[in-house]
Amino acid sequence: MTRASLKLCGYCALFVLAEVLLYASYRHHDARFHWFLHFLVGASAALLLMALIAWRRRAAAPFPLLWILAGHLFAMTPDFLFLFFSIIHRGWMDVFLLHIQAHFIPGRNLTWYLIFLLSLGAYLKVVASLPHSHGGLTSTR
């Protein structure tokens, strides 16, 4: 196995590990709904932002999985405030990628799943149009 392959495996494994830990952070709070919700919202936002940057700069953003993880963490921020500081949710927390209103979108997580797939498609389409585009989501550069 080449050094590049090992680097890629480690990068993807770290992303998966981080997401597993985030899922575990919801272990007392209906994880299957809330983890999916904020992952799909945060990942969609990150993918659209990366697509926009790639389109403007004609170069893919480095470490796309880190962008997705960052989007997820940002979308989850009010839940961290609740979990670690017992700060309940307030209306202003919608600044964190519609943290509260996102729960009530018609179709719930199915709608966010479709938005996520559209965002992923948009991102991949932009990256595919770039010269030397081979990495997709697993690029480490």
Partner 1 sequence: MVGIHPFVTIWLSTALLFGGLLAWAEVSRNQLDDPDPAFQRTGFLLPEEKLRAPDVLPGYPRAGHRLAVLFVRSVDGQMLFHDLALQSDFDSLADIVLVTHDGIRPNIVQGLDAIVADRDEAIVNAFGLHRPMDGGYPVGYALVDRDGYIRHRTLDPHCFGMGHNYEIKALLRAIP
**Considering only residues 8, 137, 139, 140, which one is a binding residue for partner 1 as defined by CB under 8 A?**
137
Under rule CB under 8 A, how many of the chain's residues touch partner 1? 35
Position 141: which residue type? Answer: R
Q: Is 32 in the site for partner 1 (CB under 8 A)?
A: yes
Six token digits for residue 95: 């600044």
Six token digits for residue 38: 């904020």
Position 136: which residue type? Answer: G
State the minimum distance, in angstroms, from the CB of residue 127 to partner 1.
7
For the window 53-92, what string marks contact with partner 1 as x by the rule CB under 8 A? -------------------------xx--x---xxxxxx-
CA–CA distance, 138 with 26 (Å, rounded to integer): 26
CA–CA distance, 4 with 109 (Å, rounded to integer): 36
Specify whether the CB–CB gap between 99 and 89 falls below 8 A.
yes
- Distance, CA of 17 to chain centre: 14
State the minimum distance, in angstroms, from the CB of residue 43 to partner 1.
9
**Considering only residues 36, 63, 74, 80, which one is a binding residue for partner 1 as defined by CB under 8 A?**
36
Q: Is 107 in the site for partner 1 (CB under 8 A)?
A: no
* Best CA proximity match to 61, nearest among 50, 76, 52, 69: 50
Residues that bind partner 1 (CB under 8 A): 27-30, 32-33, 36, 40, 78-79, 82, 86-91, 100, 103-104, 108-110, 113, 116-117, 120-121, 124-125, 127-128, 134, 136-137
